[in-house]
């Protein structure tokens, strides 16, 4: 396995990029430790697949370097980078059996028969493929075929990293949770460097120890799932992660805090406004509560969501959503309050005080 470093990496598909928007991948400086589990998370067009292709060697970056440990592999083709990839759709040989599919990457590299037998048995057991090992892949379901793809990525013990490009897209929703859990278990067992590209926040947050959130080809935050939820550094992170996402309210700076719809709202001391710009107040629905001494609101809708109810309120001209535990009584004259420690001020999209 390897430590992977992306050093001042940028990529544009056009020949003569001259401005930031010409780049599909903005400048990236990041390091992933050997044996870690990482995710690239963002919407379609965010730049995650481009980064995956650059790392694998299928695309040569316009600028910057890709390092495996301290070895510069930027100009090396895919077959010399020692990378295993699992794609969105199963990449297997339908005419081969499950066992033959798992053996193929090892046979192609001249691994001894004893080693092939032992390694394939180990991976087949991990993925619960033993009972179908001698069946031809053509007759299997989509999720079973994708498990074979996962196995082909995992069977080699000599790879620098394993890249997963939306590997659960073709899997039925009720089976996804099982494969997500299996991937997490496999990482713990094989200790491979794994990088997972996805648009699904549940997949990213349940698989990865550290998540890279991307928007429009730019990294907006890198952190653990808890860090991304508790303290979003950008409004995109607050909006994209969480269900429902963070409330974002037009605000103006005020001494010691911010003003929203004529009311002063307290925010953390380190998050004070500074400079000109467009300001928004961010508060997750989980940290909004009914408060007799709070801001008067109108109840717009109430939706049951299992153990919680999603309550949509109107504060002046703006909407504020809150998550209330099941059974919470809605006051006749509702007022809401914000948890001051979880209320943040953003300037031009970035957390005030943390602007890059």
In 3D space, the residue among 353, 346, 231, 352 whose CA is nearest the CA of residue 287 turns out to be 231
Parallel, antiparallel or unpaired: strands 210-215 and 37-41: parallel
- For 208, the token pair is 């990865």
Q: How far is it, in rounded angstroms, from Cα 111 to Cα 98? A: 18
> By three-state DSSP, how is residue 212 classified?
strand
Q: How far is it, in rounded angstroms, from Cα 257 to Cα 234? A: 18
User: What are the beta bridge partners of residue 38?
Assistant: 195, 210
- 348: exposed, middle or buried (Cβ count in 10 Å: 0-12, 13-18, 19+): middle
User: pLDDT digit string (tens) for 223-233?
Assistant: 999 999 999 99
Q: How far is it, in rounded angstroms, from Cα 173 to Cα 205? A: 17
In 3-state terms the chain splits into helix, strand, coil percentages (rounded to 5) of: 30, 35, 35
Sign of CA dihedral 134, 137, 140, 141: positive
User: pLDDT digit string (tens) for 25-39?
Assistant: 777 888 888 889 999
Peptide bond into 244 cis (omega under 30): yes
Helices (H), 108-141: 113-126
Per-residue pLDDT of the chain (356 residues; tens, 9 = 90+): 678 888 888 888 877 776 777 777 777 888 888 889 999 998 866 555 665 556 566 677 878 888 888 888 888 887 777 888 888 888 899 999 999 999 999 998 899 999 999 999 999 998 889 999 999 999 898 888 988 998 998 898 888 788 888 888 777 777 777 778 878 888 888 778 888 988 889 889 988 999 999 888 788 999 999 999 999 999 999 999 998 999 999 999 887 778 999 998 988 766 777 778 899 999 999 999 999 999 999 999 999 988 899 999 999 999 999 999 988 999 999 999 999 999 999 999 999 875 54
Give Dmax (Cα) for the chain: 76
Give the global pTM. 0.84
Question: What angle do helix axes 113-126 and 98-107 make, rounded to 10 degrees?
Answer: 130
> By three-state DSSP, how is residue 115 classified?
helix
CB 51 within 8 A of CB 28: yes
DSSP string for residues in 48-69:
HHHHHHHHHTSS--SEEEEEET
User: What are the beta bridge partners of residue 344?
Assistant: 282
- 88: exposed, middle or buried (Cβ count in 10 Å: 0-12, 13-18, 19+): middle
The torsion angles phi and psi of 293, rounded to 5 degrees, stand at -100, 10
CB 280 within 8 A of CB 249: yes
């Amino acid at each position: 396995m390897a430590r992977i470093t992306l050093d001042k990496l940028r990529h544009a598909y056009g020949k003569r990029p001259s401005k930031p928007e010409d780049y599909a991948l903005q400048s990236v400086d990041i390091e992933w430790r050997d044996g870690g589990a990482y995710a690239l998370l963002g919407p379609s067009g965010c730049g995650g697949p481009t980064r995956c292709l650059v790392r694998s060697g299928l695309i040569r970056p316009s600028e910057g370097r890709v390092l495996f440990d301290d070895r510069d592999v930027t100009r090396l083709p895919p077959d010399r980078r020692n990378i295993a990839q699992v794609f969105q759709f199963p990449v297997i040989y339908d005419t081969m059996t499950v066992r033959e599919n798992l053996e193929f990457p090892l046979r192609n590299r001249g691994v001894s028969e004893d080693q092939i037998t032992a390694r394939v048995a180990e991976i087949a057991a991990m993925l619960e493929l033993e009972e179908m090992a001698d069946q031809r892949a053509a007759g299997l379901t989509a999720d079973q075929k994708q498990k074979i793809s996962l196995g082909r990525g995992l069977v080699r013990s000599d790879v620098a990293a394993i890249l997963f490009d939306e590997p659960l897209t073709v899997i039925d929703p009720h089976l996804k949770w099982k494969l997500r859990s299996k991937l997490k278990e496999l990482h713990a067992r094989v200790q491979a460097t794994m990088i997972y590209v996805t648009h699904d926040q549940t997949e990213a947050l349940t698989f990865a120890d550290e998540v890279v959130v991307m928007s429009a080809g730019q990294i907006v935050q890198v952190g653990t799932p808890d860090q991304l939820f508790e303290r979003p550094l950008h409004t995109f992170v607050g909006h994209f992660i969480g269900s429902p996402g963070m409330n974002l309210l037009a605000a103006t700076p005020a001494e010691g805090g911010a003003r929203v719809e004529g009311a002063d709202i307290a925010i953390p001391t380190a998050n004070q406004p500074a400079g000109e710009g467009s300001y928004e107040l961010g508060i997750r629905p989980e940290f909004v509560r009914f408060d007799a001494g709070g801001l008067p609101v109108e109840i717009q809708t109430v939706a049951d969501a299992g153990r919680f109810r999603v309550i949509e309120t109107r504060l002046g001209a703006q909407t504020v959503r809150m998550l209330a535990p099941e059974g919470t009584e809605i006051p006749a004259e509702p007022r809401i309050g914000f948890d001051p420690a979880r209320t943040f001020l953003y300037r031009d999209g970035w957390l005030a005080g943390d602007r890059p």
